[in-house]
């Protein structure tokens, strides 16, 4: 169940501990300018340190192998998200990861807004409204007119640490500039020809990667309008409980790496490295070990 609660524990949130969780020196971050370089460092570090995972939704896939974990409710408030990501060393899906990262960016002095997005479906079209939470960070710039409305595009960037592969490792400018995500995948934002969205995030994988055509493909569309966390409560509830949600099947556990990403499913471990895929089977007895070694997730008592 997804819910927002009163943020009575906000005083316990510590940006320095969050920065240490993602492998950054708090003193160095404190001394840095609040610019694109720091924003990129924060996003890349978060992507490489905090996994995309749905074990809270699905529970442990192999309780018979020794670990009994049936999952847990998802609370969409900053204190609960901080406790899960920072204090327990867990990850989450978009509402949790971008929800927590938004708090950190705001605490560090960035102008950040949460925005609702709709993820592109495999068969065409897009998901339900607000089925993805993404972020827009304003580093300063001039206003421009987009989709019939005034928007500040210069200096504004899409920032997303809560989407699966290919991982968005770097800020993507809203002005359409193409960005390489660091492992060969290109990203850009374009204006969609539809009234319910202001931008469409697209990606293009290099020619020569296996099972890939070198063409731009949509990731999601978004509305450039600030939202509070509780705006996403209904869509989070759907994705974490509905039988037809793609998150309520087998659990996902994925971590970005220097060359791609590694993912552990109930019966398979998969490494993706610049277009090459290595896959092998996983025995139930080895699942917890691989989850800890490859993804960094450890259950209480492990």
Extents of the domains making up the chain: 2-295
Q: Which CATH architecture has domain 2-295?
A: 2-Layer Sandwich (3.30)
- The pLDDT, as a whole number, for residue 8 is 38
Q: For the chain, first and last CA: distance in Å?
A: 26
- What is d(CA 131, CA 2) in angstroms, rounded to the nearest whole number? 13
Query: Is the omega angle on the peptide bond into residue 220 within 30 degrees of 0, that is, cis?
Result: no
> In a structure prediction context, what are the per-residue pLDDT tens digits for the chain, which is 302 residues long?
565 543 434 457 999 999 999 999 999 999 999 999 999 999 999 999 999 999 999 999 998 887 789 999 999 999 999 999 999 999 999 999 999 999 999 999 999 999 999 999 988 899 999 999 999 999 986 555 555 555 555 599 999 999 998 899 999 999 999 999 988 899 999 999 899 999 999 999 877 666 666 789 999 999 999 999 999 999 999 999 999 998 999 999 999 999 899 999 999 999 988 778 899 999 999 999 999 999 999 986 55
Q: Enter the pTM of the model.
A: 0.91
Q: What are phi and psi of 221, to 5 degrees?
A: -110, 150
Q: At what angle do helices 36-49 and 94-107 cross, to 10 degrees?
A: 140
Specify the residue for token string 């003193």. 27
Confidence at residue 7, expressed as pLDDT on a 0 to 100 scale:
41
| 15: helix, strand or coil | helix
Rounded CA gap, 211 and 213, in Å? 7
Report the alpha-carbon distance of residue 141 to residue 132 in Å, rounded.
26
pLDDT attached to residue 274: 79
């Amino acid at each position: 169940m997804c819910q927002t609660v009163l943020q009575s524990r906000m005083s316990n949130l510590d940006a320095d501990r969050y920065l240490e969780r993602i492998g950054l020196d708090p003193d160095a971050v404190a001394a840095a300018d609040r610019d694109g370089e720091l924003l990129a460092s924060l996003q890349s570090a978060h992507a490489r340190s905090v996994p995309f995972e749905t074990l809270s939704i699905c529970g442990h896939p192999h309780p018979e192998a020794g670990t009994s974990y049936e999952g847990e409710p998802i609370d969409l408030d900053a204190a609960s998200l901080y406790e899960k990501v920072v204090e327990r060393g867990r990850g989450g899906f978009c509402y949790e990861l971008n929800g927590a990262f938004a708090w950190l960016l705001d605490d560090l002095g960035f102008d950040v807004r949460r925005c609702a997005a709709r993820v592109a479906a495999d068969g065409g079209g897009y998901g339900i409204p607000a089925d993805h939470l993404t972020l827009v960070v304003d580093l300063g710039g001039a206003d421009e007119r987009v989709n019939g409305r005034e928007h500040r595009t210069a200096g504004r960037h899409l920032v997303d640490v809560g989407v699966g592969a290919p991982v968005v490792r770097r800020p993507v400018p809203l002005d359409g500039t193409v960005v390489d995500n660091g492992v060969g995948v290109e990203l850009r934002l374009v204006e969609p020809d539809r009234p319910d969205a202001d931008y469409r995030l697209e990606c293009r994988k290099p020619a020569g990667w296996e099972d890939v055509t070198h063409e731009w493909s949509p990731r999601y569309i978004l509305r450039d309008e600030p939202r509070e966390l509780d705006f996403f409560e209904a869509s989070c509830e759907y994705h974490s409980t509905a039988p037809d949600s793609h998150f309520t099947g087998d659990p996902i556990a994925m971590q970005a790496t220097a060359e791609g990403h590694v993912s552990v499913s109930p019966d398979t471990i998969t490494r993706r490295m610049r277009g090459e895929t290595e896959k092998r089977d996983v025995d139930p007895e080895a699942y917890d070990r691989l989850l800890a070694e490859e993804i960094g997730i450890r259950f209480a008592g492990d």
